[in-house]
Amino acid sequence: MRVLVTGGAGFIGSHIVTALAAAGHEPVVLDSLHPRAHAGRPPAGEARLVRADVRDRAAVAGALRGVSAVCHQAAMVGLGKNFADAPEYVGCNDLGTAVLLDAMATAGVSRLVLAGSMVVYGEGRYDCPRHGTVRPGPREPADLDAGRFECACPECGLPLEPGPVAEDAPADPRNVYAATKLAQEHLAAAWARATGGRAVSLRYHNVYGPGMPRDTPYAGVASLFRSALARGEAPRVFEDGGQRRDFVHVRDVAAANLAVLAALPGRPAGSFRAYNTGSGTPRTVGETAAELARACGGPEPVVTGEYRLGDVRHITASSQRLMTELGWRPAVGFAEGMAEFARAPQREPVTAGRPAG
């Protein structure tokens, strides 16, 4: 099967390309090779490359010739620095997705795997001992300044117990990036209904592994820790380090994409389905920094008490739906994956908001 991978020269996209080729498929890469993302690095692998922005409709139409399915990974990723990033995020993520879907409809390509994100949920699941499952609002700057990082029950103020979030949780995007990722899902669902297509969004949790970009505020926290250790510096852990996340290895994410591609022909026409894609084993940010420091033989992490507005306290996945319906299982354990990541090369520095890929 010929599969178009947008952003296929990027971190996650390149691993998907490798997995597709290993499985006997023919990947085609559409990637702008933006200098802020690639710093002159060539795309990995032997896949045919169409060097273009996903918003270039003519180039996208050409890349879709003979294609049976699309893995849409191209996006501007991360929280960014401030709201001034909003036009570029919306342009890359939402306009780019709309152009791609329009070209797919014209070309008759009816299968889509979207790189979704857990950020669409906002905060994760919380349970109050009095009120059951509740949804706390955004944390207040005054509380964060005072070092009160945990979310409290909006009804009674009691401490909350975090738990895994499932796909039926209400969406609550709390920054521009999150809003664009939710909009991508809405566009994909509308496209599927209008064209009879089949679309799946894999809501990635914290993806890490070989080839992550380094030294950028747009990268994942694991990459920032790894970059600091490579410089001989202690990883700087925000808040108190107790934030819970789900770190999933990039090869497991690539395998999830292949599992969805295999299942899409059997999905109902006009359907859209979301799947959490995580390891299922929550870790704190502090634990992750410490594990990487041990693996690198570097200095111990420093907990700074700093915070970023728009960050959520706890968000961990229940990936049971993906496991049950498609038979996918994460194969790379946390310690094993972090040890590999500690030794793996990273991409060259990125100095500004970057289109992924």
DSSP 111-159: EEEEEEEGGGGSS-EEEETTTEEE---PPPHHHHHTT--S-B-TTT--B
Domains of the chain, earliest start first: 2-124+165-343 (3.40.50.720)
pLDDT above 80: residue 44: no
Residue length of the chain: 357
Query: What per-residue confidence (pLDDT) applies to 352?
Result: 40
Which residue, among 29, 41, 19, 5, has the nearest Cα to 354 in the 3D structure?
41
Percent of the chain with pLDDT over 90: 82
Looking at residues 245-251, what average pLDDT do you find? 97
How does residue 19 score in pLDDT terms, banded at 50, 70 and 90? very high
SS3 337: helix
How does residue 355 score in pLDDT terms, banded at 50, 70 and 90? very low
Rounded Cα–Cα distance for residues 98 and 309 (Å): 29
Rounded Cα–Cα distance for residues 196 and 279 (Å): 32
How does residue 257 score in pLDDT terms, banded at 50, 70 and 90? very high
For residue 81, give the DSSP letter. Answer: S
Query: What per-residue confidence (pLDDT) applies to 346?
Result: 80
Q: Which residue has the tokens 């961990």?
A: 316
Beta bridge partners of 72: 6, 114
pLDDT above 90: residue 247: yes
Query: What per-residue confidence (pLDDT) applies to 79?
Result: 63
Query: What per-residue confidence (pLDDT) applies to 81?
Result: 59
Query: What per-residue confidence (pLDDT) applies to 318?
Result: 95
Looking at residues 250-273, what average pLDDT do you find? 98
pLDDT above 80: residue 281: yes
Those residues whose C-beta lies under 8 Å from the C-beta of residue 55, and which sit 6 or more positions away, are: 91, 92, 95, 96, 99
SS3 308: coil
What's the gap between Cα 198 and its chain centre? Answer: 21
Looking at residues 314-333, what average pLDDT do you find? 96
- The single residue of 89, 126, 177, 307 carrying the catalytic annotation is 177
Those residues whose C-beta lies under 8 Å from the C-beta of residue 307, and which sit 6 or more positions away, are: 144, 149, 238, 239
Query: What per-residue confidence (pLDDT) applies to 238?
Result: 97
Element (H or E) spanning 259, and its range?
helix 250-263
Burial of 291-315, coded b for 16+ CB within 10 Å and e otherwise, reads bbbebbebeebebeeebeebbbbbb
Answer whether 70's CB lies under 8 Å from 46's CB: no
Element (H or E) spanning 236, and its range?
strand 236-237
Other CB atoms within a 10 A radius of the CB of residue 343 amount to 9
pLDDT above 60: residue 353: no
Answer whether 284's CB lies under 8 Å from 206's CB: no
Query: What per-residue confidence (pLDDT) applies to 47?
Result: 86
Which residue, among 109, 133, 24, 118, has the nearest Cα to 60 in the 3D structure?
109
How does residue 229 score in pLDDT terms, banded at 50, 70 and 90? very high
Tell me what the pLDDT averaged over the chain comes to.
92
Of 13-17, 174-178, 206-210, the one with minimum mean pLDDT is 174-178
Query: What per-residue confidence (pLDDT) applies to 174?
Result: 86
How does residue 68 score in pLDDT terms, banded at 50, 70 and 90? very high
Query: What per-residue confidence (pLDDT) applies to 350?
Result: 45
How does residue 37 score in pLDDT terms, banded at 50, 70 and 90? low
Looking at residues 284-291, what average pLDDT do you find? 96
Is residue 208 part of the annotated active site? The answer reads no
Percent of the chain with pLDDT over 70: 92
Query: What per-residue confidence (pLDDT) applies to 347?
Result: 77
Rounded Cα–Cα distance for residues 216 and 258 (Å): 29
